[in-house]
Homo-oligomer: A and B are copies of this chain.
């Protein structure tokens, strides 16, 4: 199709919107959605997402992006264009619990998640049976403390050879190394099974039970080198009460996890997320 998105970050100052919208107009584009955010109009950062249509987009692509470089230079912009109809290439990592994987597959099959699902990777063989009938390549790469380095090398090779754009950790219970993470900045989304920053780390449901909380939650975030400290994309909670044992919290939590993860992945695929200062701007 003829739809594209332009994402911009730059120091805020007067004239940015005028320059960008003037440029797009001159190229023949019609803006269909536009969102912006300024951390501080006088001396802050400016962020913008524009979705536009340009007839015969493919033919104009190189010219469009080439000419925009000039505008971008003037305003010291970090920027990127993405064509809406080019699906991002997505890999899903999973361990034994498949509820997040299943929700991703489902939304993907129903067309609500627009991506090429190029592979599923797991440190356990179980998910293979789920994935196989759908024709999605499945790679079983076991991970032990001894083999972790090799396993990550294999994973990285797969991601590279499949030109993966986005890695989704769908309850993948292994911690990725800093080396791995640095190669996919803001391109690895994890679902943590608590309302961060509460219950960072292992066994959040058991600890939530122990603390006697009245709501439990889940958090989707970009993965950084610091465990569970990356920019938060989305969070949600559900009410629990004294009758709910740890197993109930896990069951209720599974529903929150899959909902929250899918929302975050969807927003990423639609180029709705910008990050700065370990925070996300989500243009919904």
Which A residues contact B (CB, under 8 angstroms)? 12-18, 21-22, 24-25, 28-38, 41, 53, 99, 102, 106, 110, 112, 133, 195-199, 211-215, 217, 231-237, 241-243, 251, 255, 259, 277-282
Contacts and interface: CB of A to CB of B under 8 A. Distances in A.
Contact of A195 (B215, B241, B280): B215
A110 to B, nearest CB: 7
Given A195-B195, A198-B198, A32 B41 contact: yes
Contacts of A17: 17, 21, 25, 31, 34
Contacts of A41: 30, 32, 53
A242 B30 contact: no
A279 to B, nearest CB: 3
Contacts of A38: 32-33
20 contacts: A12-B30, A14-B28, A14-B31, A15-B25, A17-B31, A31-B36, A33-B36, A195-B195, A195-B215, A211-B232, A212-B231, A212-B232, A212-B277, A213-B232, A213-B235, A214-B233, A214-B234, A241-B282, A242-B279, A255-B259
B34 A34 contact: yes
A278 B214 CA distance: 13
A14 B55 CA distance: 12
